[in-house]
Amino acid sequence: DTAVSQTPKYLVTQMGNDKSIKCEQNLGHDTMYWYKQDSKKFLKIMFSYNNKELIINETVPNRFSPKSPDKAHLNLHINSLELGDSAVYFCASSEQGQETQYFGPGTRLLVL
C-alpha cells in the first residue's frame, strides 16, 4: 500500500498553461506539505496544511494555490506556468507537524 501518493509522476507542459498536481495520504496524518526541489537539489517548503487549514505559506507566487478538500488530500494548482517552475514537487505528510515526514514519489514538472 502506498502511504503518500502523487499524480502525475511526470508533467510536461507549455509556458502559460494551468496545471494541477494531486496528493493523497492514507496514513491518517493531520499535516500535509508541498515542497519544491530545484535542479540544485535544494528542498524548499512551499505550503503546509493542518486538518485542511493553511498554516504555512512560504513566499510563493500567488500563481500557486493549494487546496485541501479533506485532511487526506492536498492538491496544488499552478496558473500561468513559467519556465522557472520546472522542478520536482514533493508532497509529504506527518502526524502532528513536528514529527517524521513521509514523502510522496515526487512530480517532475517540465515547463517548455
Phi, psi (rounded to 5 degrees) for 85 = -80, -10
Would you count residue 34 as binding other proteins (CB under 8 A)? Answer: no
Residue among 75 and 101 whose Cβ is closer to other proteins: 101
Of 13, 22, 45, 86, the one binding other proteins (CB under 8 A) is 45
DSSP-assigned beta bridge partners for residue 90? 35
**CB half-sphere exposure, 37, CA atoms < 13 A:** 14
Residue among 13 and 88 whose Cβ is closer to other proteins: 88
Would you count residue 49 as binding other proteins (CB under 8 A)? Answer: yes
* Preceding amide of 66 cis, omega within 30: no
CA distance 92 to 49: 10
User: Residues in contact with other proteins, total (CB under 8 A)?
Assistant: 25
Would you tell me which residues interact with other proteins (CB under 8 A)? 31, 33, 40-45, 48-50, 55-56, 90, 96-106
